[in-house]
Amino acid sequence: MESRFLCPKCRSDLKIRDHLIFATETERGLRGVMLISPELGNYTIIHDDKFNFIEGEHVDFFCPVCHENLAMSDVDKDLAEVLMIDEKGEEYKIVFSEIAGKKCTIKLKDDKIIESYGEDADHYTNFWGVTPRY
Ligand SMILES: [Zn+2]
């Protein structure tokens, strides 16, 4: 079984075939659908050409099913979260940046960092203690 990605609020599946699907809105009020790769550290995003958000712009992510905002506002206003359940049935929190163009993905288990991806991840990992380095 492949990994599942769920809304943390309603636990609906956000992964349809090869993409995670989000309803989004930019800080300028532009709305659109974003398809994101479920592969952690892959920042390929698919969206309509008319949905032309700007690099560095804050984008709010919403569950397309329950419409809840996925922001982790208690941690940082620029981070959002989804749940991931891997092939073994283990549940993780996947945290990502809501700033367009920022490459940051953090995989958490019980609020401890398991893995982080992306060149901008170091800006955020200190919220959960130090990432182990060897
Ligand atoms: Zn939901």
Number of domain units in the chain: 1
What is this structure's pTM? 0.92
Distances (CA, A) of 134 to 76, 109, 112, 125: 27, 20, 17, 16
49 within domain boundaries: yes
What domain range is 86 assigned to? 4-123
Residues with CB under 5 A from ligand 1 (ion): 7, 9-10, 63, 65-66
Tens-digit pLDDT profile for residues 20-62: 999 999 999 999 999 999 999 999 999 999 999 999 999 999 9
| Predicted confidence band of residue 72 (pLDDT cuts 50, 70, 90) | very high
Asked if the structure places residue 134 within a domain, the reply is: no
Q: How far is the CA of 125 from the centre of ligand 1 (A)?
A: 25
Tens digits of residue pLDDT in 83-123: 999 999 999 999 999 999 999 999 999 999 999 999 999 88
Distance CA 10, CA 37 (A): 21
**Within a domain: residue 131?**
no
Please say whether the beta carbons of 19 and 37 come within 8 A.
yes
Å from CA of 48 to ligand 1 middle: 22
Domain annotation covers residue 15: yes
